[in-house]
């Protein structure tokens, strides 16, 4: 160690003379972004317990007393310390040393005790006197020819028990603050542990292990080696045998409290430190891991390599942030004061919007989605997959029963029986089915209207966000305009349906026609009769009564046809009455008994009259009874009989065939004409006339100023974004200076431009560990 003079602190300066100052400059630039910054710059965070010797290590690196001291917590706000090496007087510079605070501007503090007082005052200004902590940084630059270029963040010391009026969760707050720094992959961790404590229980190494479990970013510092118990040493700790770290350990000797009270200079303390290590045989061969000068050199070397490793990602993050900010700033546009400029701006907005609207409908939008249908494709989907498909799935006879059709046929014949199937029932029924097409057609128009509203919202440009009044008025104009287009569309749809209902064109070439319908209907009825030769008896009817039931149906069918098919619910002859009539032997009454009111006594009187077994008085009574015919009152609602004849079945089938055939013709017409009406009166009309409507409604001289009025928050956002853009551009220019200089630093460093120290070589295990981590070329 005798060959390592204290001035070796400055010997390592050339290593980072180009790289670290540029990163420091970046930190000064990025700090202007405040909490919104997501750019993580390389730095070294100092972590340790309260009274672990952190402050002494930092002061030894600077060579001056400048940090607050005391028995209680002293560092209550993170102190970002940038050590900047200046040219000494021997190189044409100056030996002056001074500090500058960011919050004090360019004011220089040449008295380092004044720097201490400023740190205390600035801490109390934010935190107060209650020993609380805050995560707001204090930024301090130290300019001196006796330092190496390093950037350090002194974090509050870890404390276990709150003292005085400290918050009860002081430990949790400090740990959270420390982790917020050291979890950053760009941050190196300087874990400070006093030698007179158990290294395995070190809070600094424990919290560093949480953020850096592999130990790639952690440098261990063992302080107070001079106050270890007699007979003990820290050799195994420094060799990494106790808790290994990839970047190793450095041992230092701090100034004692007595030295501080006696104003012993740091220069004298460094000389005493050197003598201590020389006097301890246990530390022979560890010269590269002992003393503050070696710590400064090691930090400088590792920080330079760390910066170079992070450069590609750092450049990428700054470039991405710059592009995003530039795009955001562009979205806010520029302020135009002149009336002509405002008019041109408004016209440009309206024109660009109309172009975007038309492009979206035509499928020519530059922002076309690949994950879902949009624009005109959605309109086509509604026409074909919603409207047409829904109509094709409808059965025109699904809500018509055979009884409904037979009733309609019978009603159309009036008081007569029809010789042929009448036209009126077909026309009535087919108009009823055509009417069902009106609602889905109007609904289709409404769907397209809603889609156009959605498209109009998506076409709103980002630039319009700065003009909420204009955006609102454009929405109102578009909504009213599309409503105006919806009305003629719906009117046309109604006219189309009314035209279809007003004229039933049975001469249409695709219409099945009466002759063909009769032929098909007869075949269907015939095939149905063959497949069902016997009528299936109803539940509860005995097999032996089947013949009588069949005769009853035949009789009822006959009567129904003779009486125009109308049979009262109460006037139908029951099977039992029919059987009695058949067995009475009087066939002349069999067809009419259902419409006469009779009783058992009346039947008996008739029999006595015919057999001449009663006297004249009795015969007069019988004649008197037979001379009055009683009819049952017809029910309020008359329905067709439950069964129908083969002729009626044919008529029903003919009507169904005609109905389905003509409905299909109308459905195809509707499927073709409704989309055409919507496209003509609504979609294409909006494309053609939207720009003219905008000009008419909005492009007015007395409205331009009101429409282009910006809210205050937009102006604030533009100003803030412009400032962020300026900062990022400055950071990008600063970073562009780095690559060549960093390469020259690395090349010169590898060539061994560093003055060689006369000390023992590193142990082979230690050298291999450094080589595997990428720092093997650093001859420490």
Is the residue at 540 inside a domain? no
Read off the pLDDT of residues 544-598 as tens digits, 9 standing for 90 and up: 444 444 434 333 333 333 334 444 444 433 333 434 444 444 433 333 333 233 3
Burial of 600 (0-12, 13-18, 19+ CB in 10 A): exposed
Alpha carbon distance 755, 744 (integer Å)? 17
Q: Residue 354: give its domain's CATH number.
A: 1.20.120.1240
If pLDDT is split at 50, 70 and 90, which confidence band does 218 have? very high
pLDDT for 663-704, tens place per residue? 888 889 999 999 999 999 999 999 899 999 989 888 887 888
In a domain, 618, yes or no: no
Structural domain ending residue among the three candidates 309, 337, 362 = 309
Query: Is 115's pLDDT higher than 70?
Result: yes
Quick one: pLDDT band at residue 267, thresholds 50, 70, 90?
Answer: confident
Are 134 and 260 members of one domain?
A: yes
In a domain, 13, yes or no: no
State whether the Cα torsion 513-514-518-524 is positive or negative. Answer: positive
65 and 146 share a domain?
Answer: yes
Residues 684 and 718 occupy one common structural domain: no
pLDDT in tens, 139-188: 999 999 888 888 889 998 888 777 767 778 888 889 999 999 999 888 99
Is there a single domain that holds both residue 372 and residue 226?
Answer: no
Tell me if 229 sits within 8 A of 279, measured CB to CB: no
Is the residue at 532 inside a domain? no
- Mean pLDDT on 288-301: 89
Q: Give me the number of domains the chain comprises.
A: 3
Residue at 180 is within a domain: yes
Which pair of tokens denotes residue 607? 């029999």
Of 669, 690, 708, the residue at which a domain comes to its end is: 708
Residue 518 lies in a domain: yes
Instruction: Please indicate, yes or no, whether residues 61 and 158 belong to a single structural domain of this protein.
Output: yes
3-state secondary structure of 197: coil
Name the token pair of 46: 């100092």
Instruction: Summarize pLDDT for 380-439 with one digit per residue, the tens.
Output: 999 999 999 988 887 777 776 666 666 666 666 656 655 556 666 777 787 888 888 999
Whether residue 405 sits in one domain with residue 457 = yes
The confidence score (pLDDT) of residue 419 equals 53
- Quote the CA–CA distance of 645 and 638 in Å, as a whole number: 18
19 lies in some domain: no
pLDDT at 639: 66
Range of the domain at 225: 40-309
Residue 489 pLDDT greater than 60, yes or no = yes
pLDDT, residue 499, reads 92
CA-closest candidate to residue 276, choices 220, 242, 221, 228: 228
Which residues are 189's β-sheet partners?
45, 218
Would you place residue 205 in the very low, low, confident or very high pLDDT band (cuts 50, 70, 90)? very high
pLDDT at 621 over 70: no
Q: How many of the other CB atoms lie within 10 Å of CB of 429?
A: 23
Least confident of 110-114, 564-568, 577-581, 753-757: 753-757
In this structure, is the dihedral angle defined by the CA atoms of residues 154, 16, 61 and 772, taken in order, positive or negative? positive
H runs (alpha helix) in 3-111: 8-11, 19-30, 54-62
**Same-domain check for residues 191 and 255:** yes
Helices (H) and strands (E) in the chain, counts: 28, 9
């Amino acid at each position: 160690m005798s060959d390592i003079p204290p001035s070796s602190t400055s010997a390592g300066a050339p290593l980072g003379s180009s790289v670290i100052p540029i990163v420091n400059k970046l930190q000064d630039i990025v700090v202007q972004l405040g909490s919104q910054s997501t750019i993580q710059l390389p730095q070294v965070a100092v972590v340790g317990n309260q009274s672990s010797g952190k402050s002494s290590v930092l002061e030894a690196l600077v060579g001056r007393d400048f940090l607050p001291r005391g028995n209680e917590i002293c560092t209550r706000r993170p102190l970002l310390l940038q050590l900047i090496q200046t040219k000494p007087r021997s190189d044409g510079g100056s030996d002056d040393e001074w500090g500058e605070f960011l919050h004090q501007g360019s004011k220089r503090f040449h008295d380092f005790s004044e720097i201490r007082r400023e740190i205390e005052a600035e801490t109390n200004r934010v935190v107060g006197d209650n020993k609380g902590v805050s995560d707001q940084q204090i930024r301090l630059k130290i300019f001196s020819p006796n330092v190496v270029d390093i950037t350090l963040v002194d974090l509050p010391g870890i404390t276990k028990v709150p003292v005085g009026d400290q918050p009860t969760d002081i430990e949790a707050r400090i740990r959270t603050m420390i982790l917020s720094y050291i979890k950053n992959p760009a941050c190196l961790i300087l874990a400070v542990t006093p030698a007179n404590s158990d290294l395995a229980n070190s809070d600094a190494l424990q919290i560093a292990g949480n953020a850096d479990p592999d130990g790639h970013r952690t440098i261990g510092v063992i302080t107070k080696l001079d106050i270890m118990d007699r007979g003990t040493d820290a050799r195994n700790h420094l060799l990494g045998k106790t808790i290994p770290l990839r970047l190793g350990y450095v041992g230092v000797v701090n100034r004692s409290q007595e030295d501080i009270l006696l104003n012993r200079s740091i220069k004298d303390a460094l000389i005493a430190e050197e003598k201590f290590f020389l006097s301890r045989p246990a530390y022979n061969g560890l010269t590269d891991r002992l003393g503050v000068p070696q710590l400064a050199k090691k930090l400088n070397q590792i920080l330079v390599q760390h910066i170079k490793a992070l450069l590609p990602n750092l450049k990428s993050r700054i470039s991405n942030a710059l592009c995003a900010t530039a795009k955001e700033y562009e979205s806010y546009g520029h302020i135009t004061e002149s009336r002509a400029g405002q008019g041109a701006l408004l016209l440009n907005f309206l024109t660009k919007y109309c172009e975007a609207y038309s492009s979206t409908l035509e499928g020519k939008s530059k922002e076309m989605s690949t994950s879902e249908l949009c624009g005109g494709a959605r309109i086509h989907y509604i026409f074909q997959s919603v409207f047409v498909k829904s109509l094709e799935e409808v059965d025109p006879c699904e809500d018509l029963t055979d009884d409904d059709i037979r009733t309609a046929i019978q009603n159309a014949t009036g008081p007569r029986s029809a010789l042929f199937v009448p036209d009126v029932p077909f026309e009535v029924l087919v108009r009823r089915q055509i009417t069902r097409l009106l609602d889905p057609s109007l609904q289709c128009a409404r769907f397209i209207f809603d889609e156009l509203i959605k498209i109009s919202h998506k076409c709103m440009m980002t630039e319009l966000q700065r003009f909420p009044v204009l955006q609102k008025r454009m929405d109102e104009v578009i909504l009213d305009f599309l409503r105006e287009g919806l009305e003629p569309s719906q009117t046309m749809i109604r006219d189309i349906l009314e035209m279809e209902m007003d004229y039933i064109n049975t001469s249409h070439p695709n219409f099945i026609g009466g002759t063909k319908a009769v032929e098909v209907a007869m075949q269907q009825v015939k095939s149905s009769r063959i497949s069902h030769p016997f009528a299936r008896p109803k539940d509860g009817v005995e097999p032996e009564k089947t013949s009588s039931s069949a005769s009853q149906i035949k009789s009822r069918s006959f009567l129904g046809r003779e009486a125009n098919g109308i049979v009262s619910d109460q006037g139908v002859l029951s099977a039992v009455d029919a059987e009695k009539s058949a067995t009475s032997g009087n066939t002349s009454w069999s067809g009419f008994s259902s419409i006469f009111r009779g009783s058992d006594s009346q039947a008996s009187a008739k029999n006595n009259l015919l057999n001449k077994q009663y006297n004249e008085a009795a015969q007069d009574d019988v004649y008197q009874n037979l001379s009055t015919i009683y009819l049952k009152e017809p029910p309020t609602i008359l329905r067709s009989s439950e069964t129908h004849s083969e002729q009626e079945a044919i008529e029903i089938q003919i009507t169904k065939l005609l109905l389905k055939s003509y409905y299909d013709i109308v459905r195809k017409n509707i499927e073709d004409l409704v989309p055409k009406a919507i496209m003509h009166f609504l979609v294409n009309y909006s494309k053609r006339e939207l720009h003219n409507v905008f000009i008419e409604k909005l492009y007015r001289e007395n409205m331009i100023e009101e429409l282009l009025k910006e809210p205050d928050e937009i102006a604030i956002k533009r100003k803030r974004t412009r400032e962020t853009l300026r900062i990022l551009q400055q950071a990008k220019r600063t970073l562009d200076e780095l690559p060549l200089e960093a390469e020259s630093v690395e090349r010169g460093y590898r060539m061994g431009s560093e003055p060689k120290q006369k000390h023992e070589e590193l142990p082979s295990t230690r050298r291999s560990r450094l080589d595997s981590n990428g720092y093997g070329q650093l001859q420490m």
